[in-house]
Structure 1
Amino acid sequence: MSEELPVIYLARHGETAWSLTGKYTGLTDLPLTERGERNARRLRERLKGIAFAKVFTSPLQRAVRTCELAGFGAVAEVDHDLVEWNYGEYEGHLSSEIHAQHPDWQLFRDGCPGGELPAQAVARADRVIGRVRKVNGNVLIFSSGHFIRVLTVRWLGLEPSVSCSYFMLSTASLSALGYKHDLSHPVIRLWNDDHHIGT
């Protein structure tokens, strides 16, 4: 692969109280936990030496703070399309609670009542991809777990309903999207790298 082809790095925000317990955290603007802040700082070392033409972050404080602690707060641009999935009535609930009422429910197929439909999350992801593909150089994005998965499968030209659920993503992890041979062959170059994260 040519080293000149750009790479899109995806950093998931650090741990919050709800991500720790597994609650769906969409637009609820929670801060990082103490461990979340520590692990966000470790992203700085992980990203050291990589040059970025552009850095984008979700406006939610968990992403903005992760971006700052990783050393990119001064250069990052806020992109409102990078917010997490809007879970509507399922905000703050556990999967087990939702499935107790709706056993067949799947986020990436069904969306959320009073929240976002998959097509709306896909439209946001496609807009982000359209913007980053115009950047001449590497891009770094700070966002949230479910939206990063949607962004990834759309990068590959896939539909979230049949693929997103296969991708695990830890807090403060780093992933990367790029190309195999040329701009017509999008690939995943790195996924869920959390070797820099402490316990």
Structure 2
Amino acid sequence: MKTRGPQVVLVRHGETVWSRSGQHTGRTDVPLLEDGRKMAGLLATPLEEWRFAEVWTSPLSRAAETCALAGFGDVAKRRPDLMEWDYGDYEGRTGDEIRAERPGWALWKDGVPNGETAAQVGARVDGVIADACAVNGDVLIFAHGHLLRVLAARWLGLPPERGCLFMLGTASISVLSLDGDGTQPVIVTWNDMTHLRNGGSHEGAPGA
């Protein structure tokens, strides 16, 4: 019987007022709502399935607090390269507000003025992926919606813009690994929110 290879477990932070309203939340340090803190606490039980060799978190409080409430605050390393996409002039604005000025606008194809490009976010997560692959064991990452979607695309060898294919709810759990031969990067599970069923949840904005 083949044993599974190391896994990279991705957790999007719990809900904030901006994720609930659909506002693009990049570098603004918006705290968790009370519902978001409850969601973070509900992550503890499903994450007990793993024994992590490394735990990494974005330093932004919504991710770091989610990490702590899930039970990993004492062991997590804060990594600035896990911060959310820098949305530049579109920080704090909803997609509908932006499209009222730029009809047909989409982050993935049009980008943002005075912020990061998809390629720049992709370069950041490439470094995270390289470090995760060098760890002898499973890795747990607490971060943000768009950042984690780009990470998933890059894990599969896709351009960062293809992160548009992967929706991600708040306080969700996703698992990346390699196939049975240990050669092909795969997604084992994606956007698992079953642990939130008894606690209530909102999917939140696609990136925050």
Match of 1:10 in 2: 10
Helix, strand or coil at the partner of 2:100: helix
Match of 1:38 in 2: 38
Unaligned runs of 5+ in 1: none
Helix, strand or coil at the partner of 1:196: helix
2-structure distance, mates of 1:30, 1:79: 18
| Contact 1:153–1:164 (CA under 8 A) maintained in structure 2 | yes
1-structure distance, mates of 2:86, 2:3: 36
| Contact 2:11–2:171 (CA under 8 A) maintained in structure 1 | yes
2-structure distance, mates of 1:69, 1:157: 32
2-structure distance, mates of 1:115, 1:175: 27
Residues 118-133 of structure 1: pairs in structure 2 closer than 5 A: 118-133=118-133
Deviation at 1:119, TM superposition (A): 1.1
Deviation at 1:4, TM superposition (A): 4.1
2-structure distance, mates of 1:69, 1:2: 34
Normalising by structure 1, we get a TM-score of 0.96
Match of 2:166 in 1: 167
1-structure distance, mates of 2:86, 2:69: 25
Helix, strand or coil at the partner of 2:11: strand
Helix, strand or coil at the partner of 1:89: helix
| Equivalenced residues, count | 198
> Does structure 1 residue 19 correspond to structure 2 residue 28?
no
| Contact 2:121–2:160 (CA under 8 A) maintained in structure 1 | no
Indicate the RMSD between aligned Cα atoms, in angstroms. Answer: 1.2
1:122-177 deviation digits (Å, cap 9, x = unpaired): 1001010011000000000000000000000000000132x222211110000010
2-structure distance, mates of 1:58, 1:123: 16
| Contact 2:53–2:136 (CA under 8 A) maintained in structure 1 | yes
Residues 24-173 of structure 1: pairs in structure 2 closer than 5 A: 24-161=24-161, 163-173=162-172
Deviation at 1:111, TM superposition (A): 2.0
Structure 1, 54-63 or 177-186: larger mean CA deviation: 177-186
Structure 1, 180-189 or 23-32: larger mean CA deviation: 180-189
| Contact 1:29–1:60 (CA under 8 A) maintained in structure 2 | yes
Structure 1, 175-184 or 131-140: larger mean CA deviation: 175-184
Normalising by structure 2, we get a TM-score of 0.92
Instruction: Name segments (4+ residues, structure 1) moved above 6 Å.
Output: none
AA at the equivalent of 2:48: K
| Contact 2:12–2:148 (CA under 8 A) maintained in structure 1 | yes
| Contact 1:110–1:117 (CA under 8 A) maintained in structure 2 | no
| Contact 1:174–1:193 (CA under 8 A) maintained in structure 2 | yes
1-structure distance, mates of 2:177, 2:190: 12
AA at the equivalent of 2:132: V
Match of 1:186 in 2: 185
2-structure distance, mates of 1:12, 1:36: 11
Identity of aligned residues (%): 52
AA at the equivalent of 2:22: G
2-structure distance, mates of 1:29, 1:140: 22
